[in-house]
Structure 1
Amino acid sequence: MLLAFELSGEHDTIPAAEALACLESINADFKVYLRLDGCLVVDLKNDIKRIAQVLSKRLSMTRNIIVVLGIGGAGEEDILDTVSKADIEPEGTYSIRVRRIKEYSHVNTELMERRIGEIFYRRGAHADLRNPQIQLRVLLTEDKSIFGYIAGSVDRGAFEARKPHYRPFFYPGVLMPRLARALVNISKPEEYMLDPFCGTGGILIEAGLIGIKVIGGDIQRKLLLGAKMNLDFYKINYSLMYQDACRMSLCDESVDAVVTDPPYGRSAAIIAESLEHLLTCSLKEIHRVLKNGKRAVFVSERKIEDLAHEAGFKVVEIHIQRVHKSLTRRVYILEKVTFDFE
């Protein structure tokens, strides 16, 4: 059965990468069916409704998870034909929403919703826009329409409520909760996740909220105290250490995943010979404490491919995020390998 992820559009590549990593983390039996701008469709063999519910509580850069009932062309008559042929007879009340992905389609969505409503009215179904028993959805992408019903929705408001300035301790320049959660999911954590530059604990919060035991380290006492306040506020299972990321007090291969957003050398409080030294040494330490075959997600404003390779990592993915004119984030997905991959 096909499952579609209605992606948030906040980034070109991270939302799909997050969805795929989450599917892999829960051992879903799937393969990619379609990759579209703003929508990912997978062919799923497992219990599709259960998986949709599980993922809706974990994902951040997906709006809705949709059980696909039909895929057709993007023209008006194509859409109506796809809906008409779909194997569904709504029991009880329903709602229908048509959404354009970006500006690919010029279909009048309100008119299309009424025309689809007429199809189900003739079948004896009753619309209820406020409290429907089934929510039907049509996504209009580059050259296709995807029709189905919503099996799970992500509570985006919960991420808004956790924005940094709403936390007990605030410090500027940190990742927003949705991005932090997406990076945590991409790292595919199992039991323990480490952030060696944890700052005020934003990444640790998002990992802890999905049941991961988190370990944070930082060399700034003020930020560690702030992280403790924030982690206690969200009732996270955590350990914090006052330590240099270049000399961590952790055993070899002791964590399942690493996600970190180093301060890029902007803070004078960082004790390091240079930014180059900080990146080189911290990557080597991350490689040391990470278990074999596991992932590290490393955010950097500069290219670190060579440094990652020297530390022993394989670069799996690179996601580019332009924050503003003077800052471009590079999100590196690194994998610890035990063989020569070159």
Structure 2
Amino acid sequence: MSNPAYADTPGSPTPVLSVSPVVLPSPGRTLDLEMRVSAPVTGSDLPIILLSHGLGFSNNLSSLNGYAPLANFWAAHGFVVIQPTHLDSRTLTLNPDKPGAAPHWRTRAEDIKRILDQLDAIEAAVPQLLGRLDRSRIAVAGHSMGGHTASLLLGARLTDPHDGSAVDLADPRIKAGVLLAAPGRGGDALTEFTAENYPFFLTTDFSTMTTPALVVAGDKDDSAFLTVAGPAWHVDPYTLSPGPKSLLTLFDAEHGLGGVSGYDVAETTDENPERVAAVARLTWAYLRSELYPEDSAWQAAHDVLIAGADPHGRIETK
């Protein structure tokens, strides 16, 4: 069974194969790169989502073990989902201030590029995937700090605070993206704490983020320790980037967007399983239509959203 070219509704989930840790030898990296690979048991010509985790209080959610509500849904509906454990994961307990250590905003994006460079090795490590990947249809998704990682791979730029160099980490192999509660602009939008501790945020430039993307933002996500701009800060990747872009604003959602980082997450301040399910469906639909332009999944999902008596959010496009 091949991956259907047209699938305007998710349909019934299929069984999922999930393998972890898949380890990529990574010369020059502090540790070899570990990841989880999830895929439908059946199907061929499968599109790929690279999922970048955020940071948080839990030990394991910020790793290859997190984001199951999204990863499982996407894989059960036709995507291969690859989840790296970045070097800033709590599971690794590395010292980011060690002399000579590369800044993690950079190593995160480099992790994604390393995966794309070594898809052959990943197929070899997971024989059930052999010959089943569609390498022309690749997307990146990320939550919170993972959203920042995804934005850089989609074309956003910044100035390296250590040496003043312009940084361009865009990857043309990535055809679409999903930014979930991603950080916004720098400058006067940042708190003093953020400017001092995360100076790479100061120069974020979305004007070069040309790859199509869906920005997902909660209208109650004030992220007050990072920004003085309130929930609108998380809309910046949409407002300040060129089209084509879409914006999904989730009503009453805070930074966890209902709990996307894991099942039954105690640290989620706005737990809402129905919201999480909506995020999974809508992001799936967006990526289906971006990677398969003839697919009407995104329009169908939009129609369902606005037809509801109590919609989870609203959608804008440009």
TM over 0.5: no
- Structure 1 length as normaliser, TM-score? 0.29
Question: More strand per residue: 1 or 2?
Answer: 1
Please tell me whether Structure 1 or Structure 2 has the larger radius of gyration of its CA atoms. Answer: 1
- Structure 2 length as normaliser, TM-score? 0.31
> Taking CA–CA contacts closer than 8 Å with sequence separation of 6 or more, which of the two structures ends up with the larger relative contact order?
2
